[in-house]
Structure formats: structure tokens, C-alpha cells
Chain A
Amino acid sequence: MEKIYRAGLRLLDQLTTEETFERIVKEAIKLVSADYGSLTLMDNDEFKDVYSTLPLPVKRRKKGYTFKSFIEQKVIVLHNQEVKDHRDRYPEMAKIGIQSVILIPLSYRKKPIGVLVVNSRKKEHFSKRERDVLVLFGSLASLAIRKTQSYDETRKALETRDLFISMASHELRTPLTAISGYIQLLQSRHIERDDTESRWINHLAWETQRLTNLVKELLEVNRIKNGNFEYFWKEGSLKTILERALGNIQIRHPDREVLLEESLTDDQALVIGDFDKLLQVFNNLLENAADFSDSTKKIVVKLSDRRKTILIAVKDQGRGIQKKDLPHIFDRFYRGEDNSKEGIGIGLFLVKDIVTRHHGTVRVKSIDGKGTTVEVILPKANI
């Protein structure tokens, strides 16, 4: 019993599909001290060996014992005469001296998936006990096969999804480029006019920008996942980055009061990082602060010196984050349950990814109804 348990455990190791097949066969041979083994699976209507230790290839015919065991889901033990018949068909089998064969049907959720074949050079091998051992091991093997197949299927599905996102965004961006180009041309011809058409054009421009941003967001997720998010490292002042981010938020929300509290010298605020990516971090945080708080409430950005690190806190007086949302806010595509704002839920995911790559940390403190503070801690350049 313990031997089966141990063999079963070995199937749970992190293995590739091929390694899993190999291990199933080898563990089965070892469990009953047999000599050879094969694993035959039904894959897309094809019944074939996915792994075999036999020194010769065996064609699994639809009239053969293996297929019979598969269809009827029955354990078949072959001795003497049956093996002799078998040997007549495969003279090579005689050369390696196989005397006994056992066929263990494999299934998952009552659906047949294949057959485990174990061959022995001993006569009358595979007693009732050995047969029970292999049947039990067969059910563990079935689980391992389904596990590795599900993993492969999931991986393929994810690859297809990523390729789809990538292609879709290219296909969406091409017409968007023409649309946004013509709109910009129209805008340049209607500059400083205050008529209905100009207002329409501005609406068009704004909506096109929204659409463009959504498509870009989709792309960024894909980029991070595929590791194509390139970083260009250099030394720079966090103060400059924050001033730029504050400038951006003032353009989008001109009436909002946004304060920068800092007392660091330029030297103390130096970090090594990718300027554009860090700018995106603070743009996202400030945009969230503005989106989730009343426009009359101020947003405070505080920069503090913490000897080896710098702490940047973005504090709003908004409605806060609900407790149930807190553990998930950094997840990709996560949007709070009662979030009515636009976006696909990757803002904070990006923040965390970028800060982590700068060897920093992000944490969020939020009191429901009172406001949220996001703290970013980044290592200083000059230590």
C-alpha cells in the first residue's frame, strides 16, 4: 500500500506531459517487478502509445487486446496461449521473452482515456494482488494524465487569448489612427471657434481618446505578461516625476486641489528607474484618487525621506476601498464590485508590477468612507 502511495506521490511532481507519461510507465513496472511497459492513450480518435519501454514499436490495432481493454474498461491478463498468439504476430516479442502481459484500463470521470500495459518475462506473472496494485496505481495515473493534459490545454488557451488580444489591438489601433488623425485635422481647422460643430468635434476627440486608452490598456497587460515591457534605467529625481504627474492630473482635473508636500533635497530624491514607467505609476495613483473622491476634496502627495528609501504617499479623502475588495486590488482585471468608473481594472496591477521591478513596495491603507492612502516605497539611488 505504501509503495503505491509513494509511486502515486511521484506522479505529482512538477513534470512535463512527456515526463509524466514516462514516470507512470516506469513506476508501474517497478511496482510489480515487471520488465517492460507502455502507456496507450486515445487522443483525437487516434489510439497510440505515448510512451513505451519496449525495444520495438507496437501498433495498437482496433481488434487487439489493448483496444478491447480500453473499450470494455476491463483488466485483461494474458498468459501462455494468448501471449503465444501475440508472439506469433510480433516475432520480436519472442526475442525479448515476454511471457505475461497485463492491461489496465484508465479512465477519468467514467470516460475511458487509455490503457497501461505492463509486460513481464516471468510465466504466470500478475497475481490477484499485483493486479489490484496496478488497478489502484492506474487510477492515480489517470488523475496525473488528466492533470497534465488540463495544464497543457489551459496553457494553449492562454496563448491563444494573448495572441488574440495582441492581434485585436493591432486591428483596432489601425482604424483608430485614421479616425484620430482626421479628428485632429478637423480640430486644427476649428481652433478658437465656439460653434456647435466644434463642440461635436471635441466630443469625437475625447471619445476617440477614451477608446485609444482602453486599447492601450489591453496591450499593456499583454506586454507585461510576455515580458515585453522594456525598461530603460537611469538616475533621476522623484521630485521631477511627481511634478510632472501633478501637472498631468491638473490638466485632466483643473479644479481639483492637489498638494505636493516635500522637504527633500534633489540629491535625497534620486532614484534609479525608468522615468516613463514611474510617471505612469503616479499618474495612475493620482487618477484613482481623483476618480474615487469628491471633486471638492483635496488630494495630498507626500514625499518623505526614510534614510535608505523614499516614501511617496498619495492620499485622498474619498469613499475608501471596501474590505472585501482590499485583498484583490492589485489583481489583473480586478474591478471593485460597485466600481462604476471606466477601465478594465489594470491600473493598480501595473502600479504594483512597475514598483516591484524597481525593487520597491506598494501598500494601501483605506478606511471605508474616509479615504485611501497608497504608499509607494522606492530605494534611493545614492546608497
Chain B
Amino acid sequence: MMAAEKTIFVVDDDPGILEVITIILSEKDYNVVSLSDGNKVFAEIKKQKPDLIFLDIWISGTDGRDITRKLKAEDSTKDIPIVIISALNETEKIAKEVGAEEFLEKPFEIDRLLQIVESRI
């Protein structure tokens, strides 16, 4: 299957991090939707269902943990793999607690990020 058919949401309020991840994934021909506002995830999902979501925890105005819990509670979105990306100490623990499939600690290696994408899509 062509990668171009796959859509990935990247949610992070740091513009640099958002841009870097967007470039990395776009270069691999993924369709990337970058969001700096966590609240927009739900509206965006209605327009197009992503194949994977990279989600920061501390996003201004909202919390990645709440977003994950909501997505995992909905039948229509519970199967979308979620990767928690955070600079918090306990990214791995938090990811497990909220039911996210993967975690990525900041700062990350591009190779590790791509490895996660390939294993989940």
C-alpha cells in the first residue's frame, strides 16, 4: 500500500517540534495534519480519520491524556494508534495509564520515530 494514503495527526504546541515531525513524515510521503491546538483533534477526526496520532501531553488549553482517554472511549476512534510524545519524566508510564499504544520521549531520534510509524501503520 502506498504511504501517501496514510494520514498522521501531529499534535504539539511547540512550533519547532511540530514542524520537524511534519517534515520528517511528509518526506516519507505521509499525509500529515499538524495541529497546535489539542481541542481541534476531534473536529479534524470528523473530516478525516487518521491512521496514527502523535500527541503531546502538555498542550496549551488542553491535556493529551484527556484527549487519549476520550478517543479510546469512542468506538469510532478507539482503534487509532496513539503515540504519546512528551518531555515529562514519566512518558512511558503515562502512555500506559491512558491506554496509548506507544510513547516517544523528547528529545527523540528521527529513526525511532519512523520505526514507531512503520510498526503501527
> Interface of A with B (CB < 8 Å)?
166, 169-170, 173-182, 184-185, 188, 208, 212, 219, 222-223, 228, 230
Contacts and interface: CB of A to CB of B under 8 A. Distances in A.
A216 B88 CA distance: 11
Given A170-B58, A185-B23, 20 more contacts: A170-B87, A170-B88, A173-B107, A176-B107, A177-B14, A177-B17, A177-B20, A178-B14, A178-B16, A178-B17, A178-B20, A179-B16, A179-B107, A181-B20, A182-B16, A185-B110, A208-B107, A219-B89, A222-B89, A223-B90
Contacts of B108: 177, 180-181
Interface string B17-50: 1001101100000000000000000000000000
A181 B107 CA distance: 8
A219 B89 CA distance: 7
**Chain B interface residue number, banded:** 10 to 19
Contact of B24 (A170, A185, A228): A185
Interface of B: 14, 16-17, 20-21, 23-24, 58, 87-90, 92-93, 106-110
Contacts of B87: 169-170, 173-174, 177
A121 B73 CA distance: 68
Contacts of B20: 177-178, 181-182, 184-185
A177 B90 contact: no
A69 to B, nearest CB: 50
Contact of A230 (B23, B88, B92): B92
Nearest to A184: B110
24 contacts: A170-B87, A170-B88, A176-B106, A177-B14, A177-B20, A177-B106, A177-B107, A178-B16, A178-B17, A179-B107, A181-B16, A181-B17, A181-B107, A181-B108, A181-B110, A182-B16, A182-B20, A184-B109, A184-B110, A185-B23, A185-B110, A212-B107, A219-B89, A230-B92
